[in-house]
A and B are shown apart, each in its own frame.
Chain A
Amino acid sequence: MGSLHPAFWHLVSPELVLVGFGVLFLLMSAVKSDDSFKEALGWLTALGFAITLVLTLQISAAVGGGRVAALASREGYASLVMDPFSQLFKVVFLVGALLSVLMSFKSLRVNRALTGEYFTFLVLAVFGMMVMASGTDLLTLWVGLETMALSVYVLAAYLRRSAASVEGAFKYFLLGAVSSGFYLYGASFVYGATGSVHLEAIREALQARIAHGGLEAVGFPFAAGLVILVVALLFKAALVPFHWWTPDAYEGAATPVTGFMSVAPKAAAFAMMLRVLLEGLGPVAGLWTGLLSAVAIATMVWGNVAAMLQDNVKRMLAYSSIAHAGYALVAVVAAGTAPRSGGVGAALFYMGAYAFMNLGAFGLVLYLEREGCAGDRLDHFNGLVHRRPVLAVCMILFLLSLGGIPPTAGFMGKFLVFKAAVDAGLYVLAVVLAVTSVISLYYYYRIVLRMFLREAEAEEPVSAGWPLGAALAASVAGTLVLGLYAAPALEWTARVVLGGAH
């Protein structure tokens, strides 16, 4: 049994609120089941996320630039910390989840899949992510990871009458279960080699050993465990060559779920990856930066090239999300190579920017969705600018941002990642990033071309309730603010330090 921080209950209050809401929704959805009630549950979910967001910001302000261990082992090694890194990532998850809830109403009604359990799983998934952002020992992180993953498997299969949804979710589930096994296997090697599951203790053990005999002194079992652990993390973030589940799972899942999956769990996977690699395995960065550089190059190239070949917008965005994970991985490698290159802040900013622009793009697909048609073929965008000019302009903004063109959030994100890579001396990665970004413009502009130059074959209704409109407006605002007035966000991300830098 470890030691609790005196203000433990206050520090974990956002997480407690989420668990409370999740359990409450579960029981409520078992008691009542008419549609208006379920819709009310959706609004309660949004309220729950909003309360959690406020509490998180409040704790964030209390913590400041420091690091508070809410839960620590008897030896004083932290298991759950509140620091700028974890709090900012939590804000990204919560904003992504809030936008996803607003986007869910229409889609769930169209697909007749509105249930109370949907919101339960959404809430519990975010709870798992928050633990992933705060956890600083391998087991706490794993518990968070599993809570998130199990909830997201169910969400991915939510359209249970659609074969594609079930197939994608099944692939996701099988590979996810295997990767969880990999994670535990790798973690057990690391534990065996260093004698602790706490990242700080692992770090100290590694430093002591390196001080004795250099990088070789860490030994083969540890190196094997490290690689196995990294493989599990790469799977969760959907990086090449562990991305095979992504297109099927993303295409099959309900569109709001796809938007959520591509944003929040991905950010959580990166939070966990940064935490484990930089805080625990920072001293042996030489062992993993080369590996991850290769993965980053493969991911950027494969994701972008494969996206060029897709006719289905959701599948295209799935490959584009793989490519974007590759860009963020460049920042991770930069942070590992040179702790002062600002790689951590860049990765964090990128995930925040990506949340707005990607959820915005999925929101547009949702606008085009109607009964019996997911609205995700490229043809559905034909002539959109004549039918709904405002929506077309929004889509152009999101696509510009995804392609990394100023004045958008995507440009700022890519600029920061590029800068971190150059500062760390990773010129090859920086060049691949720039070149593949240019390739990506090709498939983003295919949509723009269709909106302007093709005539719509039939007058298809384009409609949505106001919640989707509000979510879209928020995405536009986020994309523009992070692009034009990024100074406050940059100031926050600059305070984020992990591992060796403090």
Chain B
Amino acid sequence: MMAYLPIGIFLGIALAIVPLTLLIGALLRPRRFDYVKLQPYECGIEMRESPRGNVSVHFFLVAVVFLVFDVETIFLFPWAVAFDRLGLFGVVEVFVFLALLVAAYLYAWLKGALRWEE
């Protein structure tokens, strides 16, 4: 059990830090609210319209296609690091993986996920 003591202390500090800082802030800061202060914060630019609007579904599609490549690089990194020890099987495995990802990408492409103007 003693081996877990550092983790326990770490956990305690992690849990305490957020309430503690919030508490200190609440005790020290002056409370003077006005119209501008209660607006959503956006880099000092004045608010023009309600932030709750519709977003084009294309953003979502781009995010999904991005995910395909993101997952690809994340998996290629560990393979590249250990590739000399994985040998031929590792190469075959990575290429099977790449083929599956290319198939997914092709699907998105053929379905028109990359076509921006309709």
Contact = CB atoms under 8 A, between A and B. Distances in A.
Nearest to A221: B4
A36 to B, nearest CB: 20
B89 A4 contact: yes
Contacts, number: 23
A458 interface: no
A31 B111 CA distance: 8
18 contacts: A1-B85, A1-B86, A1-B87, A1-B89, A1-B90, A23-B100, A23-B103, A26-B103, A26-B104, A26-B107, A27-B106, A27-B107, A27-B110, A30-B110, A30-B111, A31-B110, A220-B1, A221-B4
A31 B106 CA distance: 10
Contacts of B111: 30
Contacts of B4: 221
Contacts of A4: 89
A6 to B, nearest CB: 13
Given A26-B107, A27-B103, 12 more contacts: A1-B85, A1-B87, A4-B89, A23-B100, A23-B103, A26-B103, A26-B104, A27-B106, A27-B107, A30-B106, A30-B107, A221-B4
B30 to A, nearest CB: 41
Residue of B4, B100, B103, B107 ringed by the most chain A CB atoms within 10 A: B107
B48 to A, nearest CB: 33
Interface in A45-73: none
Q: Which 4 A-B pairs have the closest CB atoms?
A: A30-B110, A23-B103, A30-B107, A1-B86
A26 B106 CA distance: 9
Chain A contact residues (Cβ within 8 angstroms of B): what range?
A: 10 to 19
B97 to A, nearest CB: 12
Contacts of A26: 103-104, 107
A1 B81 CA distance: 13
B96 to A, nearest CB: 9
Interface in A1-26: 1, 4, 19, 23, 26
Nearest to A4: B89
Nearest to A19: B100
A186 to B, nearest CB: 17
A37 to B, nearest CB: 14
Chain B contact residues (Cβ within 8 angstroms of A): what range?
A: 10 to 19
Residue of B4, B86, B87, B111 ringed by the most chain A CB atoms within 10 A: B111
Contacts of B1: 220
A4 B107 CA distance: 32
Contacts of B85: 1
Contacts of B100: 19, 23
B80 to A, nearest CB: 14
A456 to B, nearest CB: 44
A220 B85 CA distance: 37
Nearest to B104: A26
A4 B1 CA distance: 39
A421 B24 CA distance: 60
Contacts of A221: 4
Interface string A209-252: 00000000000110000000000000000000000000000000
Interface string B1-13: 1001000000000
A205 to B, nearest CB: 17
B16 to A, nearest CB: 22
Interface string B89-115: 110000000001001101100110000
Nearest to A23: B103
Nearest to A2: B89
Nearest to A30: B110
Contacts of B104: 26
A4 B89 CA distance: 9
Contacts of A27: 103, 106-107, 110
A132 B4 CA distance: 33
B106 to A, nearest CB: 6
B56 to A, nearest CB: 19
B83 to A, nearest CB: 10
Contacts of B110: 27, 30-31
Nearest to B106: A27
A224 to B, nearest CB: 11
B4 to A, nearest CB: 7
Nearest to B85: A1
B115 to A, nearest CB: 13
Interface in A345-375: none
Contacts of A30: 106-107, 110-111
A4 B93 CA distance: 12
A27 B101 CA distance: 12
A100 to B, nearest CB: 23
Contacts of A31: 110
B118 to A, nearest CB: 17
A416 B16 CA distance: 54
